Amino acid sequence: MKTFPTSAVWCFGILFISVLLKTTGSSEVQVVGPADTVVALAGDDVILPCSLKPSVSAEDMVVKWTGLDLKTKNVHLYRDGRDSNKDQSPSYRGRTSLFQEELKNGIVSLKLTRVTLSDAGSYKCFIPTLTSQVKETTVQLFVGVVSQPVISIIGTKDWGVVLKCESGGWLPEPKMEWLDSSGTILPADGPPERHRDSEGRYAVRRHVTVNKTDTNRFTCRVNQTEINHLKETEIHVPGEVFIG
């Protein structure tokens, strides 16, 4: 009878165990979330992504959404095939929901409506009924605020007209600039004036002196690159306002 050397048996055994562990690990269901911060504007609706990988049905699982660095902890709870929000934090009541039709596909993302500044922070998507080691993921939510700039004519200076642009309630701090009708940035009368209120929102004001042109149209642009949002207001200055 032919036998294998003891060393060969050990090598085969180690190889078999390694392959088994690798295969088991690769098929383990895990909770995954987005790599980037989720950005929303105050007043809008937002989706906090969370799913199972590989995709399996979550219809019979327990899904818990909680706040990590928020004053309110219980954000949303799904169990026994339905939402169970008896102990939900009052500030989230009536504003959270899962996508019921997507649970069978392993999608357990949370929809949060009418976002407020206080909603910003870290959220945990947790499925305690999973037997895997990765039962949760963290989703970061950033909430921004924007407003439409307002332009006014405040007087004349030499041969030009002085315009003022104001825009308040921004978060994070925005950049403000003046442009002519062709889109060329105009040199402003000094740096922008900034003010921050008790809630951390920014108000920005900037003046510019413009000379008479073919169109007499000028634009104030307020831009926030972090939330990729821009607001513009255009003004047409009547020709008779200019001196000369």
- pLDDT tens sequence across 77-96: 999 999 998 889 999 999 99
pLDDT for the residue numbered 73: 82
- Please check the confidence at residue 68 and state whether its pLDDT lies above 80: yes
Question: Does the domain spanning 150-241 belong to CATH 2.60.40.10?
Answer: yes
Nearest C-alpha neighbor of 46 from the set 227, 238, 231? 227
Q: What is the pLDDT of residues 181-202, one digit of tens each?
A: 999 999 999 999 999 988 888 9
Measured CA to CA, the distance from residue 25 to residue 133 in angstroms comes to: 10
Please state, rounded to an integer, the average pLDDT across all residues of the chain.
86
Q: How far is CA 149 from CA 162, 206, 235, in A?
A: 16, 11, 11
- Please check the confidence at residue 67 and state whether its pLDDT lies above 70: yes
pLDDT grade, residue 171 (50/70/90)?
A: confident
pLDDT for the residue numbered 13: 41
Cβ(112)–Cβ(129) below 8 Å: no
Cβ(147)–Cβ(43) below 8 Å: no
Nearest C-alpha neighbor of 126 from the set 68, 45, 40, 56? 68
Give me 200's structure tokens: 């951390």
Measured CA to CA, the distance from residue 232 to residue 28 in angstroms comes to: 50
| Structural domain 29-144, CATH architecture | Sandwich (2.60)
Measured CA to CA, the distance from residue 88 to residue 50 in angstroms comes to: 19
In eight-state DSSP terms, residue 94 is: T
The CATH 2.60.40.10 portion of the chain extends over: 29-144, 150-241
